């Protein structure tokens, strides 16, 4: 289970938990075109997470950082799931009912 260090508010994962997350598939669905593709964690790190014009949704939750994505993946890995699906869309499309 993820551990939190009280002083710095940081959390760490055991090597076994990290391995489960690393092995998970990440499917990205572009809502604008309905195209899908799979991404690696290395690629996801490079996304512009600060861009508020692009929304990324996992299970109804907006993910706004790479750390938030890893946290969501950790929760899914704990339940034995092997894939995460990210819905990615311009903010205006999501607000318009996409």
Percentage of residues in the chain having pLDDT higher than 70: 85
Alpha-carbon distance of 89 to 21, in angstroms, equals: 24
Q: HSE of 61 in the Cβ direction (CA atoms, 13 Å)? A: 13
What backbone phi and psi angles, to 5 degrees, belong to 47?
-60, 150
- Residues 6 or more apart whose Cβ sits within 8 Å of residue 78: 1
Structural contact between residues 84 and 22, judged by C-beta atoms closer than 8 angstroms: no
Q: Which domains does the chain have, with CATH numbers?
A: 15-92 (3.10.20)
- Residue pLDDT, tens place only, 5-45: 444 556 677 888 888 888 999 999 998 898 999 999 999 99
Per-residue pLDDT for 49 more than 90?
Answer: yes
- Residues 6 or more apart whose Cβ sits within 8 Å of residue 92: 53
Structural contact between residues 15 and 72, judged by C-beta atoms closer than 8 angstroms: no
| Tokens standing for residue 34 | 């309905």
pTM of the entire predicted model: 0.79
């Amino acid at each position: 289970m993820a551990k939190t260090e009280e002083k710095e508010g940081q959390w760490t994962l055991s090597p076994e938990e990290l391995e489960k997350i690393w092995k998970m598939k990440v499917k990205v669905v572009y809502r604008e075109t309905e195209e899908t593709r799979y991404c690696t964690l290395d690629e996801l790190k490079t996304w512009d997470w600060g861009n508020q014009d692009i929304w990324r949704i996992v299970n109804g939750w907006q993910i706004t950082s790479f750390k938030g994505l890893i946290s969501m993946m950790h929760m899914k890995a704990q339940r034995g799931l092997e894939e995460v699906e990210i819905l990615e869309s311009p903010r205006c499309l999501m607000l318009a009912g996409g």
